[in-house]
Amino acid sequence: MSEQLSREQREEALEAAIAGYIRDGYQVTYRSATGATVAKGKPINHTLHLILTIATCTVWSFVWIALAIMAAAQNATYVLSVDAYGNVQAAKQ
């Protein structure tokens, strides 16, 4: 069994994992010494789509629904954590 790492070594392992996610287009939304949350995707401007839906007598609602479904499929959020041995785990939210 391997030995436990120091806090600095664990932070370095987490930082390396975060760097990989950033290269893949993710943004860090939360960061601590032993964990982070990274997210990818663009938010939908629901206010704009509501105005368009009202202005077009609900015709725009079909576009809005389609965009919301596609955005949900493309967006991803992961919670990263590092244990005492430097292993980084990623859990999809």
Residue 41 lies inside a defined structural domain of this protein = yes
Q: Distance between CA 32 and CA 90 in Å, rounded?
A: 15
DSSP state of 42: -
What average pLDDT score do residues 66-90 get?
93
Residue 70: inside a domain: yes
Domain assignment of residue 43, yes or no: yes
Cβ atoms of residues 80 and 89 within 8 Å? yes
What backbone phi and psi angles, to 5 degrees, belong to 26? Answer: -85, 160
State the average pLDDT for the chain: 93
Q: Note whether residue 66 is domain-resident.
A: yes
pTM listed for this prediction: 0.72
Q: What is the pLDDT of residue 1?
A: 54
Structural domain containing residue 60: 7-85
pLDDT of residue 40: 93
Residue 37 placed within a domain: yes
Q: What is the pLDDT of residue 81?
A: 96
Residue 90 lies in a domain: no
Kindly report, residue by residue over 39-51, the tens digit of the pLDDT. 998 889 999 999 9
Note whether residue 2 is domain-resident: no
Residue 47 counted as domain residue: yes
Give the chain's domain count: 1
Alpha-carbon distances of 41 from 38, 53, 58, 72, 79, rounded to whole Å: 11, 23, 26, 9, 15
Using one digit for the tens of pLDDT, what is the confidence trace for 6-36?
A: 999 999 999 999 999 999 999 999 999 999 9
